[in-house]
Amino acid sequence: MPECEHLDQIRDVQPRTNGCEECLKIGGRWVHLRLCMTCGHVGCCDSSPHKHATKHFYATRHPIIRSNEPGESWGWCYIDQLMLEFPEVVEARRRTI
């Protein structure tokens, strides 16, 4: 099974906003929110009109996002194209530090 090679880029981040940063600035709307695990940027998902989380990845190359929706613990590595389960990701990262 393939493994994500970017776990070392996960930081202890807090969401910088209570909604999609860019949508809040332009008065846009979003469907679901994603949290950048490198810098704490909050962007809207690819089902949202502006897809700001993916745009953030292309602008910064920060590889891993996590769902910022209540009760969800999955993440995604854009580079490796892998789904991640965050309780396991955090534990795997701890073992490598």
* Per-residue H/E/C for 31-88: CCEEEECCCCCEEECCCCCCCHHHHHHHHHCCCEEEECCCCCCEEEECCCCEEEEHHH
**In this predicted structure, what is the pLDDT of residue 94?**
54
Counting the structural domains of the chain, the total is 1
Categorize the per-residue pLDDT at 92 as very low, low, confident or very high, splitting at 50, 70 and 90.
low
Q: Is residue 81 a part of any domain in this protein?
A: yes
In the predicted structure, residue 96 carries a pLDDT above the cut 70 = no
pLDDT of residue 91: 60
Range of the domain at 67: 7-96
Residue 30 lies in a domain: yes
**Torsion from C-alpha of 64, 43, 15, 10, nearest 10 degrees:** 10
Residue 69 within a domain: yes
Within a domain: residue 21? Answer: yes
Lookup: tokens for 48: 């949202």
Q: How far apart are CA 38 and CA 61, in angstroms?
A: 10
Q: Give 48-82 pLDDT, tens digit per residue.
A: 999 999 999 999 999 999 999 999 999 999 999 99
User: According to the model, what pLDDT value does residue 1 have?
Assistant: 54
Residue 49 belongs to some domain of the structure? yes
Report the pLDDT value the prediction gives residue 55, as an integer from 0 to 100. Answer: 98
18: CATH: 3.30.40.10
Residue 1 lies in a domain: no
Tell me the average pLDDT across 32-53: 98
Whether residue 93 is predicted with pLDDT greater than 80 in this model: the reply is no
